[in-house]
């Protein structure tokens, strides 16, 4: 069994565009995950308002941080983006359910995939926007 080595490359401009687009969601998700572990009063109140028990805050924060860590590692970035899409989909559904604005979670998801699109040539090969 032979394996072909991929010669896909990314330009420096594309790489930096991807890093910049990825920075905002990564910083927001890291801050959010850490705040869920620290559990300040506003986080506890927010979770209660959203209909979640206080006991699920830490596990949700750990999942958020784990997905973000997978997204940061180039080798697992696509898996991380897929998992973050599911996580942010749950956040969107929660906000829709309680009648709050949900565009923040959707925008983070768009930035996650947009940043990855520029950083990872495999994704651009899979989803070519033009030929």
Rg for the chain, CA atoms, rounded: 17
Which pLDDT value is given to residue 31?
97
Which pLDDT value is given to residue 4?
43
C-alpha atoms less than 13 angstroms from C-alpha of 66 in its C-beta half-sphere: 8
Global confidence as pTM: 0.86
Token pair 């897929």: residue: 82
**122 with 10: CB under 8 angstroms?**
no
Expressed in percent and rounded to 5, the helix, strand and coil fractions of the chain are: 80, 0, 20
- Give the helix/strand (H/E) hosting 79: helix 77-98
pLDDT tens across the length of the chain (131 residues): 444 445 677 889 988 999 999 999 999 999 999 999 999 999 999 999 999 999 999 999 999 999 999 999 999 999 999 999 999 999 999 999 999 999 999 999 999 999 999 998 888 888 877 66
């Amino acid at each position: 069994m032979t394996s072909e080595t991929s010669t896909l490359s990314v330009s420096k401009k594309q790489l930096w565009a991807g890093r910049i687009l990825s920075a905002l969601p990564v910083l927001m998700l890291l801050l959010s995950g850490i705040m869920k572990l620290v559990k300040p009063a506003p986080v506890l109140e927010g979770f209660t308002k959203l209909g979640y028990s206080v006991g699920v805050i830490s596990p949700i924060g750990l999942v958020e941080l784990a997905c973000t860590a997978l997204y940061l590692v180039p080798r697992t970035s696509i898996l991380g983006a897929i998992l973050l899409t599911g996580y942010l989909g749950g956040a969107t559904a929660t906000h829709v359910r309680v009648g709050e604005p949900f565009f923040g979670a959707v925008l983070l998801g768009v930035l996650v995939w947009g940043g990855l699109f520029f950083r990872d040539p495999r994704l651009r090969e899979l989803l070519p926007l033009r030929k």
